[in-house]
A and B are shown apart, each in its own frame.
Chain A
Amino acid sequence: MEVRIELARLAYAENILRCTNEPPETVEDLLSLDGELEKARRWFAFAEAKRRFDPNIVRGLLVYLFSHYTSAEFDPHKREQLVREITAGRVRMRDLTIERLAGTRLSWEHIFRLVGRQFNPTREKEKIKELYAQLYAAAPSHTEVSYGH
Chain B
Amino acid sequence: MDTNYSPQHPYENELEKLTEFADLCRGVERLEYADHPSEDILRAYVANRLLDGPGAGRVGASFRDEQAFEQFARGRVARWTRPDVSMHILTCARCQQSVSRLRASRWQLLSSARHPTEERSWRRRLALGALASAAVAAIVAALWLWPPSTPGPACWIEEQCWQQVIRESSSKGSILMSYRQPGRF
Residues in A lying within 8 Å of B, measured CB to CB: 1, 3-15, 18, 20-22, 26-27, 30-31, 33, 39, 42-43, 52-54, 57, 61, 64-66, 68-71, 78, 81, 95, 97-100, 102, 107-109, 117-122, 124-125, 127, 129, 147-148
Residue B109 at the A interface, CB < 8 A? no
Assuming the contacts A1-B73, A15-B63, A95-B48, asked whether A6 and B28 have C-beta atoms less than 8 A apart, the reply is yes
Say yes or no: A52 contacts B31, CB within 8 Å.
no
Closest B residue to A97 using CB positions:
B86
| Distance to closest chain A CB from B66 (angstroms) | 7
| Distance to closest chain A CB from B64 (angstroms) | 8
Say yes or no: A15 contacts B87, CB within 8 Å.
no
Query: Closest 10 interchain pairs by CB?
Result: A69-B25, A97-B86, A108-B13, A15-B60, A11-B83, A20-B52, A99-B86, A121-B16, A4-B73, A118-B5
Say yes or no: B24 contacts A30, CB within 8 Å.
no
Residue B26 at the A interface, CB < 8 A? yes
Secondary structure call for the A interface: helix
Closest A residue to B107 using CB positions:
A81
| Distance to closest chain A CB from B133 (angstroms) | 33
**Looking at the complex, which one of B8, B59, B60, B74 makes contact with A11 (CB distance below 8 Å)?**
B60
Residue B72 at the A interface, CB < 8 A? yes
Say yes or no: B14 contacts A107, CB within 8 Å.
yes
Q: How far is the CA of A63 from the CA of B6 in the complex (A)?
A: 21
Q: Number of contacting residues on B, CB 8 A?
A: 49
Contact residues in B for A121 (Cβ distance below 8 Å): 13, 16, 18
Contact residues in A for B10 (Cβ distance below 8 Å): 108-109
Say yes or no: B53 contacts A20, CB within 8 Å.
yes
Closest A residue to B106 using CB positions:
A81
Residue B36 at the A interface, CB < 8 A? no
Q: How far is the CA of A103 from the CA of B5 in the complex (A)?
A: 27
Say yes or no: A120 contacts B87, CB within 8 Å.
no
Say yes or no: B16 contacts A122, CB within 8 Å.
yes
Closest A residue to B91 using CB positions:
A7
**Looking at the complex, which one of A9, A108, A118, A127 makes contact with B14 (CB distance below 8 Å)?**
A108
Say yes or no: B52 contacts A15, CB within 8 Å.
yes
| Distance to closest chain B CB from A112 (angstroms) | 8
